[in-house]
Structure 1
Amino acid sequence: MKRSVAQLVILCLMVSCTNGETKAVRSNSDGSEAWGYVEVRPKAHMFWWHYKSPYRVEDPSKPWPIILWLQGGPGASGVGIGNFQEVGPLDTFLKPRNSTWLKKADLLFVDSPVGAGYSFVEEKELYVKSDEEAAKDLTTLLQQLFNKNQILNQSPLYIVAESYGGKIAVKLGLSVINAVQSGKLKLHLGGVVLGDSWISPEDFVFSWGPLLNYVSRLDYNGMELSNSLAEKIRKQLKNGEYVAATETWMELESIISLHSNSVDFYNFMLDSGMDPLSLTTSEETRKENRILKKYSRYLNDLRSVNSVDEGDLDTLMNGVIKKKLKIIPKDLVWGNNSGNVFTAMQSDFMRSTIEGVDELLAKGIDVTIYNGQLDVICSTSGTEAWVRKLKWEGLQEFTKMEREPLYCENDRTTTRGFTKSFKNLHFYWILGAGHFVPVDEPCVALKMVGDTTKSPQL
């Protein structure tokens, strides 16, 4: 019987396949990596990639924190961007990353929603249309990965999200709680971490004009135009006109770009087009190189490709990485952000998720919020605005608390941020960082992750 590429991929998750580029889910001999597809719905295939941390300082059989990384967009690739450009073991040059979050936890990257990155649907009607649908797919993936794996289901899972991924992370946290309580999922939820997250679009669009005016990227006239369109968005949201609000959001970004001479929405110190994701790493110690090079040993024979040396993510993901993984459909072209996914979710894009954060807090789930000082799209002032709208019983005490300064390791000469916590709400203000905190301030971000996951100190 002739099978489609998609059918072969799913079949090969269970048996060893050798035909063509298709191969079973696999792991290195030392167990450091595994990857594969989960058919979260008929004809909807979600790709995942799990790295086991080589930095474990306890008995490997004991529970160790696992971070599930959710990228933004919606439609951006966590397997590509979060992995190779932000917190994974290798950078886009396939060199060890000194600041990898594997130092504090295992890492599980997924391309979500289906249609992002290496994930795919066989019919366009299968794209998700809401955060709830995206969370449901992710819950199905977690059931497949965790339920029959005792090491995984006894380890605390931290859902860490960036940008739009934060909205999905909130819904996923609630979905996980329900699935665990109903006995459908064996998993211990350690917490939800919201990094520069698009939780309340209304609060963010109202923050843009004043922020950019204050830092001289918009003059008074530009700020007034920005505020006017933000008010239009507020009315549209109040009337339930969510698609129209998304269209006005696009118009607002264009107006701001025009009047600011193309400010970078991810870092107001930059112009648009200045890549905020660093493609270089700091000098690693010999020990760290030895530890992390295990992840690149299968790529050594392929690294002579010039485009890899140039650090181009698209070429990397469609070239040597696709060749390494072996199970990616041949006709699938990886992209860093799927327009089809964004379009399908357009009616949910501008919806607030503040109530979901309140629900997580009320259920006793640890919620950590971190924000880069220089971010525009998910500005710190916008984040503070939606936090003040929480109905959580501990908000008043949290607001009264003084912040503690953050430093990089033993250097107490430079303040790198601030933090404060009350009960199960934690907030980190990261100085000198834009939208991509792990890239802009890797040292402080790594400390924050260690504190959040309560991982043993190295």
Structure 2
Amino acid sequence: MERPRCYSPLALHLLLCLFSLRACSAASITAGTPDESELWGYVEVRPKAHLFWWYYKSPQKTSTPSKPWPTVLWLQGGPGASGVGLGNFLEMGPLDVDLKPRNSTWLHKADLIFVDNPVGTGYSYVEDDSLFVTSDWQQAADMTTVVRALAKEVPTLASSPLFLVAESYGGKYAATLGASIARAVRAGELNVTLGGVAVGDSWISPEDFTLSYTPLLLSVSRLDDNAGDEANNLQAMKYSTYGQDSQPGSNTIDGIMNGVIKQKLKIIPKNFTWGEQSDSVYNALVNDFMKPKIDEIDELLSYGINVTVYNGQLDVICSTNGAEAWVQKLKWDGLRTFLSLPRQPLYCGASKGTKAFVRSHKNLHFYWILGAGHYVPADQPCIALSMISSITQSPAS
């Protein structure tokens, strides 16, 4: 979309242009609601490679000098799963898949940004198939370009700490993007405040997760001893059967994303079809799929950035045992003390039962979410909302 030009000598046109100054100066913002409570657009991160983003301003927004209002940037997994569609409408966005208000939306605690990442995911697209990212760090470079654009185009980011929150393979995105942002900030190349990085049920260390499968399934009687022996033989060959994400299902998500939502956004290419999972994106990252991102987590901790690990206790894909195993491999100097501390129980809502446990030391935090599988915000929305409030130090009551 060609951006408006503000060179008319007519005083009236100049006045109108001044009232719409952000539209005149912001190439990446292509649409939004009149009150700017929602903004969305494309960023051309590389020639012919376009990432789509969608920003929501919280109606509960408040702030104090000691607790500025936070912004959460959500990163879906896959790789190739759409955060704009799945995370937004199936997990924590303001509306559910039936376009009805979600009581547990994270907008109660923070502003939200969803990005269809990497290029080729969801509404994001490439004009040449050679432009799909082939590494997590290439993804991080593209997303750093998006964050740099958003820092200019979303006015709240100037004073709002940014929290990267991710799920599944998105944890690898968050780890590399977090490190990339931190380096850019330290070099004076990016003016944002990185408040923290949270990786939920995340594929940070593929080896530790695959090694956890056999004992986990045996412990819950999903395997008998014979099947366990066979699984151990496969495990010894370091063979992974992990495939594409089983995203929370809906018979209507494709319909709304290619129907009413596409019509609302107006800027999606006319003949473009949204998909919840891109096989092309997934296949392009195959060589990086089994590479761990523990070093990037260590880097974030060394900078003093808050890192949160959260896991659904019923997750098999990214099991809690696997997450505990990779955390124990951290080189962070506070690890020994962290591991020695007891877990604290957490409660939520009117229920008197324990909903989660948490352990914290300095800038590392680990949440064990009870009764949740791979999709914590969908499985346990109450404790997920409480957790995001704690992670972001939201001033919302």
Structure-2-length-normalised TM-score: 0.90
Cα offset, 1:153, TM superposition: 2.4
Contact 1:13–1:37 (8 Å) recurs in 2: no
2:201 aligned residue (196, 216, 223): 196
Find out whether 1:436 has 2:379 as its counterpart: no
- Give the secondary-structure state (helix, strand or coil) at the position aligned to 1:197: coil
Aligned position for 1:381: 321
Change in 2 beyond 3 A, CA 1:145/1:14 = farther
Could you tell me how far 1:441 is from its partner in structure 2? 0.5
Q: Does 1:406 align with 2:346?
A: yes
Indicate whether 1:65 and 2:70 are aligned.
Answer: yes
Change over 3 Å in CA distance of 1:174–1:276 after alignment to 2: closer
Residue 383 (structure 2) pairs with residue 448 (structure 1) = no
Could you tell me how far 1:382 is from its partner in structure 2?
A: 0.4
Q: Which amino acid aligns with 2:248?
A: L
3-state DSSP class of the match of 1:193? strand
Deviations 1:377-403 (A, max 9, x none): 000000001111111111110111011
Q: Provide the secondary structure at the position in 2 that maps to 1:198.
A: coil
In the alignment, is the contact (CA less than 8 A) between 1:373 and 1:429 conserved in 2?
A: yes
CA-based RMSD: 2.2
Q: Which residue of 2 aligns with 1:157?
A: 162
Asked if 1:330 corresponds to 2:263, the answer is: no
Residue in 1 aligned with 2:30?
Answer: 25
Which sections of structure 2, spanning at least 5 residues, go unmatched?
7-19, 21-27
Any conservation in 2 of the 1:63–1:151 contact (CA below 8 Å)?
Answer: no
Whether the 8 Å CA contact 2:40–2:55 is kept in 1: the answer is: yes
Aligned partner of 1:146 in structure 2 is: 151
Q: Give the deviation of 1:222 after TM superposition.
A: 1.7
Query: 3-state SS of the aligned residue for 2:201?
Result: strand
Q: Any idea what SS the aligned residue of 1:347 has?
A: helix
Residues 202, 230 of structure 1: 8 Å contact kept: no
Q: TM-score, normalised by structure 1?
A: 0.78
What is the one-letter code of the residue matched to 1:119?
S
Matched-pair contact (CA < 8 Å) for 1:200–1:354: yes
Matched, 1:339 2:279: yes
Contact 2:343 2:359 in 1 (8 A): yes
2:257 equivalent among 317, 323, 329:
317
Q: Does 1:187 align with 2:192?
A: yes
**SS of residue matched to 1:147:** helix
Cα–Cα, structure 1 residues 142 and 399, in superposed 2: closer, same or farther, change >3 Å? Answer: same
Q: Does 1:122 align with 2:127?
A: yes
How far does residue 346 in structure 1 lie from its aligned partner after superposition? Answer: 0.3
Map residues 92-111 of structure 1 onto 2, 5 A cutoff: 92-111=97-116
Shift of 1:148: 5.6
Q: Residue 328 and residue 123 in structure 1: after superposition, are their counterparts in 2 closer, same or farther (change >3 A)?
A: same
Deviation at 1:14, TM superposition (A): 8.4
> What is the CA-CA distance between 1:74 and the residue it aligns to?
0.7
Indicate if the aligned counterparts of 2:312 and 2:373 stay in contact, CA closer than 8 A: yes
Shift of residue 59, structure 1, vs aligned partner: 7.7
Aligned partner letter, 1:435: H
Provide the identity percentage. Answer: 57
1:53 and 1:102 in contact (8 A); partners too: yes
Give the match for residue 427 of structure 1.
366
Question: How many pairs does the alignment contain?
Answer: 376
String of CA shifts for 1:77-112, please: whole Å, max 9, x gaps.
000000000000000000000000000100000000
Classify 1:417/1:55 alpha carbon distance in 2 versus 1 (closer, same or farther; 3 Å): same
Secondary structure in structure 2 of the residue aligned to 1:368 = strand
| Equivalent of residue 397 in structure 1, options 337, 351, 364 | 337
Partner of 1:367 in structure 2?
307
Give the CA deviation at 1:355.
1.0
Deviations, residues 325-373 of structure 1 (Å, cap 9, x unaligned):
0100112111111000011100000001111111111111100010001
CA–CA distance in structure 2, aligned partners of residues 149 and 321 of structure 1: 21
Q: Decide whether aligned partners of structure 1 residues 27 and 53 sit closer, same or farther in structure 2, where only a CA change above 3 A counts.
A: same
5+ residue gaps, structure 1, are: 1-8, 17-22, 234-247, 255-264, 267-274, 280-310
Alignment of 1:224-243 (within 5 A): 224-233=229-238
- Note the C-alpha offset of 1:231: 2.0
Q: Distance in 1 between matches of 2:103 and 2:46?
A: 38
Residue 65 of structure 1: how far off its partner (Å): 0.4
SS at match of 2:74: strand
